[in-house]
Structure 1
Amino acid sequence: MEMQIQETVVQEAIEKTGFGQFNLKIASLGALIYTNVVISIISIGYVLPAAVCDFEMTTIDKGRIAIAPVLGSCFGSLFWGFLADLKGRRISLMSALFLQSNSEILMSLVSNYWALLSFKFLSGFAIIGEIALLFSYVGEFQPAKYQKKILSWLSFVMVAGLIIVPLLAWAIIPLQFEYRRHYFFFRSWNLFVLVCAIPAEILGIWLIFCPETPKYLAESGQTGKLLKVLTDMYVENIRGTPEEFYRTLENSEYPALIELANSCANKSTSKEEKAPSKKKLCTMLKDFKKQRQNVFKAPYLKRLVVLCICLFCTASSFYSLLMWFPELFQRFAHFEALHPNQTASVCSISNKNSATNTTMIKNSFDCVQEINTSVYRSALWQGLTTLIPNILLPLLVDKLGFRFFAVTLLGTSVFVTSGLYFAKSYMENVILSCIFLAVMSTSLSVMYSFLVILFPTNIRVFASTISVFTSRIGTIFGNVTFTYLIDDYCTILIVTIIAQLLLAATLSLTLRA
């Protein structure tokens, strides 16, 4: 109960800092980090068909690369939750960005399949930290009135990643160049991976100059730093002076805020700023255990179980198709080149090409693997289509709520996925895939936003860790089922995806925010 009161007090202090340039700066940083996450996740979809000859990959080999970052994220979801509680949201988020960037830079330079797999594993380990901490970091700076809108706008700006990646792939991967020396080679797809790694490095540097969230500083007893962050927020938002903010706190109805203002006036916080209270690992483990005990009580237990199931089903369905859409479009292009004027569905195309997809490509030096330009065009249309629901979400979320969007979007995805089974032309599949990506990308953003809305600060780290870990398990399940079912059991694959989406849509009716 004490921690909930503390959170209320800090939230009241945040309300008094107003809303303005500081909040927009933090939200912009969050949106760019989310965009970077999307770039890292979907860029691998273009590497798979481009590097197939260099590593002599079968469908199973491609599946390992798609699953490697997800497997890394399963371990990362636990690690980053502990680190965020031990060192804070900012340090953890910054560390995740640098780890992701450096892993992908090294990944662009390796010429061995298993080394590529290992660095993609580390990249996934880092990416999950960004996802798990991003919404908490941005949300904990925002006044309650603007919190939902800011979290919703994150998903809108994130759409930039869905547009940027196919454009970058289209501009870089078709380039005809190669550097080869002994066991090392560097081709256009390596350059593409390298370029996609740069944003994370820049954002990590940006975070060095950003503050820790007020709620974490209050939790860890760093009142000196807490007051400084709140004052900086007030000065940047209101264009007032620190003295005016202190007077605002003194007029508060909360004794803790009055005491905070008086401590500054008496200059008694300098010692705290030099030697702030930091959590020890044993203390943090006890806190984590306490969070676990609290989250297993009503009403949070029910919320956590429902949200975990929804995240599992949503992530499994979304990522299993997201990372494989370029491969599917490439198969369509290959089929149409061999069988002009014939129609086919996703399942029939996979069955007809299964022999090609499961045969090792030998003599990779002489092999030429070009991605059809229609793949880039289709992916670009997918990215542009996602703008529509991601614009509507922040504009209407206050009136309709996150639950309305979750149920509506997931329900729409059920019908769209069903349509993929019956679609008989390339254009029909492109249209349906555009709608699927649009509604599912927004659905996943809504689910992550629920973490901030449904759980208070004192149990949010534990709830986020468990929820995001569950979503990673779902992603692994989705990619494994796709890898092993797409060539020979495509119908079962589509039915499985539909069932998961239907379950998530139904359970979303019980989430209230």
Structure 2
Amino acid sequence: MGLDFMDNSGVRVDYENALINAGFGKFHIYLLIVCGMIYMNTAIGITIISFVLPSATCDFRMSSSDKGLLTAAPMLGMLVGSYWWGCLADTKGRKTVLIATLLLDGFCGLLSSVAQYYYLFMLFRFFNGFGVAGAMGICFPYLGEFQPTKYREKILCWMEMFWTVGIIALPAIAWLIIPLNVEIRHGWFLFHSWNLFVAICAIPSLLLGCLLFLFPESPKFLIECGETEEALEVLRHMYQENTGKGQTEYPIKSLKERESISTISRRTSKSVRTLSMKKPKELKMLMSEIWQQTKLLCKPPHLRNTVLTCAIQFGLTTSYYTLMIWFPELFYRFEEFEKHNANKSASVCDVSSVVLEPDVNGTLVYDEYCDGPTIDNNVYIHTIIIGISCIPTSLWLPLCVHRLGAKFFLVFSLVVAGTVTIGLYFVHNSVENLILSCIFEALTSLGISTVYCVMVDLFPTNLRVMAAALSLTFGRGGALIGNLIFGFLIDLNCVIPIVLFSTMLFISGFLCLLLPNTGGQALD
């Protein structure tokens, strides 16, 4: 059953037409900017650890396996947090949970910047990942539920550009801050430039969390909860922002609740959104609602899409987040190798162990490594170039998605990225490594964003964020495993992770062929 509204003439209007009557303009642009900045911030939050690895090696006395554990910590947080935040967003509200995730990420980021011990820093980065998982999984459904069908797919695809800006901004910020000669010592407390870098990158989360208070809850979600008058108020506000006219001039005057409203709202007069997690009885009702919705995802007609999206996310995310986080480290190792071996070519595997070599007793030697600058300027330049290389695909997606379809972009990006991953084994110098890294980053980030766009159309409102969160859980599980594997094998046998990641991308590309076509239907 669709969502029915009454216009001035008493004629029922469905939700799609109610959105059309609210207009398309300033409100949607402002919302796109804010959600885009949230998505950009998640790009920074996920990849920040890649610049911390070389910079903090001396402070934390890290080996490659230690670095693998550190990169895995935020992935573990994302694994734990993805479904938790998804369940809350589908029961307590998109906006409320987005604010909570952003504030958590910001505060934990600030705390991690002053952490003096490896395991304490790892703990705070775990909670950073826990918060980022929620923001990433919710910003697409939140944005999409405000969009009419005509604009929804294109607007969601523009989010890829914000991700690209994030991966360009991060190395630029790192380049400005990490080389600074910052050293604050006070007893046991030590604060270097990389600590300052971590602190500065935490601030946007706090600002965005506060900014989001100015925006309304998704009207689609409010209707699902039975809060029809509140949904109508949001639509009137959108109308006023978009047209400049008074809210009273909005032609839709009343709406009829949909029949698929939450079971709690049907049984009681309470909206599921108002249930308190502090009251045992209401918490039990909330958990029951979450369980009922989870079971719906695992039964027809949603089971097939659930399995496909989880499998695609696992393969894509394992490869993407592992290699993306380790790229600056690989660039650094190439720079170190070529600095000491002029005019000599080497593959990724050949330069794997150039950073810290064990002495005769098997102990890692840090003194010589820690004497000079931690990161060469070329590492920053190469990482910025990788981000810039994503601009063409970020423009190609929203401009051509209606003509080629989201499925085309998914299959194309994953298959070519899998081929490029194999090519990493055959590179002979840092330039070849940079070229393949640019292609890999551009295509896999395109695939990540397109999956989120597709999922907005694949699932109904009451399951949308939860489905995205479940697939993200599988993806983060893969990223966790991938970072652990890469950290332990990069110094021993780097062929195995390269073959493994390329295979996963090929399988994910094949599974994308089985997805239904999306983008042409109104939201359920």
Q: TM-score, normalization: structure 2? A: 0.89
Taking the TM superposition and a 5 Å limit, the aligned residue runs for 1:220-299 are 220-245=225-250, 247-249=251-253, 278-279=274-275, 280-299=282-301
Q: 1:5 to 1:229 in 2, by over 3 A?
A: closer
Which of residues 66, 84, 92 in structure 2 aligns to 1:61?
Answer: 66
Residue number in structure 2 paired with 1:346 = 348
Q: CA deviation at 1:71?
A: 0.5
Q: CA deviation at 1:367?
A: 4.4
Q: SS at the partner of 2:190?
A: strand
1:458 aligns with 2:462: yes
Q: 1:281 to 1:398 in 2, by over 3 A?
A: farther
Q: SS at the partner of 1:125?
A: helix
Structure 2: distance between partners of 1:289 and 1:11: 29
Q: 1:367 to 1:133 in 2, by over 3 A?
A: same
Structure 2: distance between partners of 1:277 and 1:174: 48
Structure 2: distance between partners of 1:361 and 1:369: 16
Structure 2: distance between partners of 1:6 and 1:389: 39
Maintained 8 Å contact 1:18/1:143 = no
Residue number in structure 2 paired with 1:467 = 471
1:44 aligns with 2:83: no
Taking the TM superposition and a 5 Å limit, the aligned residue runs for 1:67-106 are 67-106=72-111
Maintained 8 Å contact 2:4/2:256 = no
Which of residues 460, 474, 480 in structure 2 aligns to 1:476?
Answer: 480
Q: SS at the partner of 1:342?
A: coil
Letter of the aligned partner of 1:211 in structure 2?
P
Letter of the aligned partner of 1:178 in structure 2?
E
Q: Deviations over 1:336-372 (max 9, x none)?
A: 1111100001011115667369953456997445211
Which of residues 19, 24, 41 in structure 1 aligns to 2:24?
Answer: 19
Q: TM-score, normalization: structure 1? A: 0.91
Q: Deviations over 1:289-314 (max 9, x none)?
A: 33233323333211111111110000
Structure 2: distance between partners of 1:91 and 1:472: 23
Residue number in structure 2 paired with 1:440 = 444
Maintained 8 Å contact 1:455/1:463 = yes
Q: CA deviation at 1:457?
A: 0.6
Taking the TM superposition and a 5 Å limit, the aligned residue runs for 1:285-434 are 285-351=287-353, 355=357, 359-362=363-366, 367-434=371-438
Q: SS at the partner of 1:349?
A: coil
Letter of the aligned partner of 2:452 in structure 1?
Y
Q: 1:359 to 1:396 in 2, by over 3 A?
A: farther
Structure 2: distance between partners of 1:72 and 1:364: 34
Q: CA deviation at 1:277?
A: 6.8
Residue number in structure 1 paired with 2:522 = none
Q: 1:427 to 1:276 in 2, by over 3 A?
A: closer
Residue number in structure 2 paired with 1:261 = none
Structure 2: distance between partners of 1:281 and 1:10: 31
1:139 aligns with 2:144: yes
Structure 2: distance between partners of 1:325 and 1:478: 14
Unaligned ranges ≥5, structure 1 = 258-271
Maintained 8 Å contact 2:98/2:138 = yes
> Which structure carries more helix by proportion?
1
Which of residues 15, 18, 24 in structure 2 aligns to 1:10?
Answer: 15
Q: CA deviation at 1:89?
A: 0.7
1:509 aligns with 2:513: yes
Q: CA deviation at 1:227?
A: 1.5
Structure 1: distance between partners of 2:273 and 2:76: 35
Structure 1: distance between partners of 2:335 and 2:148: 50
Structure 2: distance between partners of 1:317 and 1:487: 18
Q: 1:287 to 1:461 in 2, by over 3 A?
A: farther
Q: SS at the partner of 2:350?
A: helix
Q: CA deviation at 1:64?
A: 1.3
Residue number in structure 2 paired with 1:125 = 130
Structure 2: distance between partners of 1:242 and 1:184: 56
Unaligned ranges ≥5, structure 2 = 6-12, 259-268, 276-281, 519-524
Residue number in structure 1 paired with 2:279 = none
Q: Percent identity?
A: 38
Q: Deviations over 1:168-192 (max 9, x none)?
A: 1111111112111111011110111
Residue number in structure 2 paired with 1:263 = none
Maintained 8 Å contact 2:409/2:450 = yes
Q: Deviations over 1:139-173 (max 9, x none)?
A: 11111111101110011122111111111111111
1:159 aligns with 2:164: yes
Structure 2: distance between partners of 1:277 and 1:175: 48
